Amino acid sequence: MSDTSQHLFIRACFQQPVERTPVWMMRQAGRYLPEYRAVRKDHDFITMCKTPDLATEVTLQPIDIVGVDAAILFSDILVIPEAMGMELQFIPGKGPNFPKPIRDAAMLKTLKRIDAEKDLRYVLDAIRQVKQSLDGRVPLIGFSGAPWTLATYMIEGSGSKNYKYPKQWAYARPDLLHSLMEKLSKAVSDYCIAKIDAGAEAIQLFDTWAGILSREGFREFALPYVKQIIETIRRPGIPIIYFAKGAMIWQEDLLSCGADVIGVDWTANLQDVRRAAGNRVALQGNLDPTALYAPPEKIRQLVKDMLAQYGQGYGHIANLGHGILPDIPVPHAQEFVRAVKEESSRWKQTN
Ligand code: CP3
């Protein structure tokens, strides 16, 4: 199998020279693609995650159709709580749901320690199959939810506007929350290591709900566990990306967390973050996902602005500031990717 360690996505993660800026999109394997919807029509989402043939097919779709520079394994962050013993449903139009959320010490006790090779074997099989199909064309990113974001769904039971239950635990039962975070850190670390062993060439930790914590809460419940995971899963040549949405106000905490790459949401200015980062980390992002509703000419201008914000030098991976939305026209996603490739080649050649 071809070696992708010198691929431009991996080089950019380690701030090494690249001939142009690499680009991929969070949630790139999804409903905005008619080809995804065609597969999804015949299978429910969890079945797709659990069937390596189907997971492989949809993982590859954005590589072929949109031309991104990295693949991200089609799966979901909530496979970990499911492997720990929680019943998981995806309700059409509503999203993920745990009918029996973790609300007390007794329920917390029921969570099993996972054996990734056994309990999440289907994910590892999908990685092996995707790698074979990719045959070195682009690197494969494996991902996990960060403990805090996994905990929000496990305690709340579903997505929510104000996450009353997990936040209540942060103040009323910090002992239980820490105990859950410890269990999750162990599970996430084991899972990420198993993914790397199966062939994942980069790992992204998604902390989608970091921004609902207070600054102190973020420092007590989210950050230390992420740091511990990063230390545990670090392997030579495998970049680690931490994306904490809504946490850019605590950028110094992010920049010093030990990740190779910080995912930047669309609320921040890349130039400001880069100035603060120095050469400590690479930056990934950060076009507002709703900007892809703009006409293609405008998308190109916004891409130019984003590249100019990062400026010269290496260590930028172009992406959206969060996942691509399901009703974005495919030509707009294609224009985003094409514009990054063309404009950054020009930029890198003339600077
Ligand atoms: O990036 C990729 O293309 C890889 C696939 C991927 C999915 N989920 C597929 C998916 C990844 C990286 C995720 C991560 C994920 N899952 C996160 C963190 C990233 C983020 O967007 O904040 C979160 C919070 C989840 C939990 C989750 N899964 C939610 C809230 C939903 C419902 C909302 C929605 O977008 O429908 C899902 C379902 C889900 N995960 C879908 C996909 C393609 C849609 C399923 C369908 O086809 O109906």
Residue 3 inside a domain? The answer is no
Domain count, the chain: 1
Atom of ligand 1 nearest to the CA of 145: 18
Least confident among 2-16, 115-129, 283-297, 313-327: 2-16
Q: What is the pLDDT of residues 205-258, one digit of tens each?
A: 999 999 999 999 999 999 999 999 999 999 999 999 999 999 999 999 999 999
Residue 127 inside a domain? The answer is yes
Give the distance (Å) from ligand 1 centre to CA of residue 348. Answer: 34
- What does pTM read for this prediction? 0.96
Q: What is the pLDDT of residues 318-344, one digit of tens each?
A: 999 999 999 999 999 999 999 999 999
Is 303 or 350 the better-scoring residue by pLDDT?
Answer: 303
pLDDT over threshold 80, residue 347: no
Residue 2 inside a domain? The answer is no
Q: Residue 314 and residue 87: Cα distance in Å, rounded?
A: 44
Residue 1 inside a domain? The answer is no
Judge if the beta carbon of residue 95 lies within 6 A of ligand 1: yes
Judge if the beta carbon of residue 55 lies within 6 A of ligand 1: no
Residue 51: name the closest of 158, 129, 115 by CA. Answer: 129
pLDDT of residue 350: 55
Atom of ligand 1 nearest to the CA of 149: 24
Domain coverage including residue 118:
8-350
Atom of ligand 1 nearest to the CA of 25: 1
Judge if the beta carbon of residue 46 lies within 6 A of ligand 1: no
Residue 314 inside a domain? The answer is yes
Judge if the beta carbon of residue 30 lies within 6 A of ligand 1: yes
Residue 320 inside a domain? The answer is yes
Q: Is 125 a catalytic residue?
A: no
Q: Which of 32, 36, 153, 163 is catalytic?
A: 153
Strand 282-287 to strand 316-320: parallel, antiparallel, or no bridges (unpaired)? parallel
Q: Can you give the CATH number for the domain in which 38 is found? A: 3.20.20.210
Q: Is 31 a catalytic residue?
A: yes
Q: Residue 142 and residue 203: Cα distance in Å, rounded?
A: 5
Q: Residue 261 and residue 319: Cα distance in Å, rounded?
A: 12
Q: Is 11 a catalytic residue?
A: no
Residue 246 inside a domain? The answer is yes
Q: Ligand 1: which residue has its CA nearest to atom 35?
A: 95
pLDDT over threshold 90, residue 268: yes
